[in-house]
Amino acid sequence: MKLTFKIALFPLFKERISMKQNLRRIQFAVMIVFMALSFAIASLTFVRTVSASGAADPLPSWKNGPGKQAILQFVQEVTDKSSPDYVPPADRIATFDNDGTLWSERPVYFQLLFAIDRVKALAPKHPEWKTKQPFKAVLDNDMKALWASGEKGLIELVMATHSGMTITEFESIVKEWIKTARHPRFNRSYTDLVFQPMLELLAYLREKGFKTYIISGGGIEFMRPWTERVYNIPPEQVVGSSIKTKFEMRNGRPVLVRLPEINFIDDKDGKPVGINQHIGRRPIAAFGNSDGDLQMLQWTAAGDGKRFMLLVHHTDNEREWAYDRKSHVGRLDKALDEAQRRGWTVVDMKKEWKVIYPFELK
């Protein structure tokens, strides 16, 4: 009877043992799944943290030096509503020189190279240029003679190559040159020679509510065809030197014709004038690289409240060029002295920039 009972209960015991084993297996499986989920969540959190950390650095091509720290501190102070130096978005105006500040300017200003190429292209229609300076110097590739012609000769060169066409025709000529011309040292498009750290700075300032402007001694209509594509700065935020234009009706259509007469020189003491005429607000931040930018920085510094003035110092002869006080292009002498005296930010290109050009990142 007892034996029979035990025998009868054996399947039940066996089933209970089997249930316990299954339960343990399920518990173990649940634990494995939980550990896997925990690991996945931890990994995702780590990735997000790394991404956030990367995104938190708005100036990745800048080394963690005094220039970068000064920029970040200034932006923090003028955009934090709890800061005594807070500046409303409407007044967050930042002005940038172009040549030597946003892109390179060697061996000579790129717009001069454009004019030189135009002289060579137009030479067949002007046989008199073979014996007339400064055109002869260009056709003979004699840069020494070209510089000897002085400002008068360079202006004559620009007038002959930048006028006599409509603004639409000139825009097409500039776009074609920008597309096809190559820099003699790097064999790259001139717009490849923009400064990666400055592109990051422009984007960072706009993200923080700044409006960014170009204030350049270069031609306003030479820059406007490509600045939006390259710098994300639209034509209406580009201020530069200009020649006169005239309204005409041609074949029943209204056009603006470029005349061989100077209208405005947006360089040196002309920069504050250009800023006032085109923007109507004094900048709170100004960026340059030469004595031609000094008055713009002085005008910016003279305003009320927190101000920021920065000079790009070309010190890297290996990756770009090294020059300052004795340079015939982009001379940095008086502005450097004033920056040191007044505590403006001077960025040492060699020491503070990880890369110079965007193509170095590829």
Alpha-carbon gap, residue 177 to 117, rounded angstroms: 9
Q: By C-alpha distance, which of 157, 180, 266, 172 is closest to 216?
A: 266
Q: pLDDT tens for residues 272-329? A: 999 999 999 999 999 999 999 999 999 999 999 999 999 999 999 999 999 999 999 9
Q: Quote the pLDDT of residue 27.
A: 54
State the pairing for strand pair 345-348/308-313. parallel
The dihedral of CA 12, 18, 21, 23: what is its sign?
A: negative
Residue 22 has pLDDT above 80, yes or no: no
Q: pLDDT tens for residues 198-238? A: 999 999 999 999 999 999 999 999 999 999 999 999 999 99
Q: Quote the pLDDT of residue 45.
A: 37
Say how many residues make up the chain: 362
Q: Quote the pLDDT of residue 81.
A: 97
Estimate to the nearest angstrom the gap between the alpha carbon of 265 and the chain centroid: 23
**Terminal Cα-to-Cα distance of the chain (whole angstroms):** 88
Q: pLDDT tens for residues 158-197? A: 999 999 999 999 999 999 999 999 999 999 999 999 999 9
Alpha-carbon gap, residue 89 to 87, rounded angstroms: 6
pTM exceeding 0.95? no
The dihedral of CA 264, 270, 275, 280: what is its sign?
A: negative
Q: Quote the pLDDT of residue 320.
A: 98
Q: Quote the pLDDT of residue 21.
A: 53
Place of tokens 């946003």: 102
The pLDDT of 38-58, averaged and rounded, is 47
In this structure, what DSSP letter does residue 237 have?
Answer: G
Q: pLDDT tens for residues 121-172? A: 999 999 999 999 999 999 999 999 999 999 899 999 999 999 999 999 999 9
Residue 9 has pLDDT above 80, yes or no: no
State the pairing for strand pair 211-219/345-348. unpaired
Alpha-carbon gap, residue 345 to 340, rounded angstroms: 8
What domains are there in the chain, each with its CATH number? 66-106+194-361 (3.40.50.1000)
The pLDDT of 334-338, averaged and rounded, is 98
Q: pLDDT tens for residues 63-110? A: 999 999 999 999 999 999 999 999 999 999 999 999 999 999 999 999
Taking a C-beta distance cutoff of 8 angstroms, is the pair 315, 356 a contact? Answer: no
24 band by pLDDT with thresholds 50, 70 and 90 = low
141 three-state secondary structure: coil
